[in-house]
Amino acid sequence: MTFGSGAYTYRVQEDWARLPDGWKFGWIPAVGVDSQDRIHVYSRSEHPMVVFDREGNFLTSWGEDVLKDAHGIFIDAQDHVYCIERQTHCMRKFTPDGRLLMTLGTPNQEGADGQPFRLPTDLALDSKGNMYISDGYGNARVHKYTGDGQWIKSWGTPGAGPGEFDLPHCVRVDRHDRVLVADRANNRIQFFDTDGNYLMEWTGFGHPDTIFIDEDDIVYVAELDQRVSILTLEGQRLTDWGRGVKSETPGEFRACPHGIWTDSHGDLYVGEVQTDGRIQKFIRQR
């Protein structure tokens, strides 16, 4: 059975990730792939960061002593791993082998209204190395920081108008340094410049959870309403799949797509929440 269409047609690989005996995944909100095609599965479980090769062989795990509530992940060009912890209200930056380099936010302490962080969701970097953190369930904000963690500015207020948010659930930056924000409950993706000025928006999504942009400027969107969408950076929809209902059929979605990333071969990885242990690999057909 195949999914998608045209140049973005996939077949699903069942039972892709093989955990050590006795280990189990909980919800899988986030997945990221580094420059060596190591797939990082960030889950709400006893082993929050588990790393596999492309074939699903277990490589390592880390974060057991630090990570408490998986939500968003970002991996930069140097393979640093940024983890957004929702209920502990903080961001953690790690070396590729899991050594903690930076913490933003005070763990387990919610910020004041409008201030970092109140149940944050995700992170991205611009071309200058500045960080953008979407924040999130308790705030309707995006916070901008320098690469070494100095606050620059914040923007966003609750609402449905331009520059307003109803659950900013993910942030990504494209090669034009446009900041894309998945405005989940407003069913749209908003675009901003790096100063937070509103540029445009895409609509027509089913509660977009997470965005990934590949090296070919193709945009992948995991949507809470059991759908994956693939678009060009100009907004042309290339393909999508998912029937908008929960399904046990491999390649469809048992619960809610939440994490999304591709590897260097164009294969797609999708993690789900509101169910345990669900991460699917979609192999791109050439």
231 three-state secondary structure: strand
Tell me the whole-structure pTM to 2 decimals: 0.97
Give the integer Cα–Cα distance in Å for 283 and 250.
13
Distance CA 208, CA 186 (A): 9
Q: Is the dihedral of CA 264, 266, 271, 277 positive or negative?
A: negative
> Judging by DSSP bridges, how do beta strands 218-223 and 227-232 pair with one another?
antiparallel
The pLDDT of residue 244 is: 85
Query: Which residues are bridge partners to 185 per DSSP?
Result: none
CATH of domain 2-284: 2.120.10.30
Q: Indicate the domain borders of the chain.
A: 2-284
**Structure tokens, 135:** 């924040």
- Within a 10 A sphere around the Cβ of 153, how many other Cβ atoms? 11
Q: Note the pLDDT of residue 1.
A: 86
- pLDDT value of residue 286: 87
For residues 11 and 5, what is the distance between their CA atoms, to the nearest angstrom? 11
The pLDDT averaged over each successive group of 10 residues in the chain (286 residues) is 96 94 97 98 97 98 97 98 97 98 97 96 98 97 98 98 98 98 98 98 97 98 98 98 90 96 98 96 96
106: which 2 tokens? 């005070």
Say if strands 100-104 and 90-94 run parallel, antiparallel, or are unpaired: antiparallel
Distance CA(154)–CA(236), nearest Å, equals 30
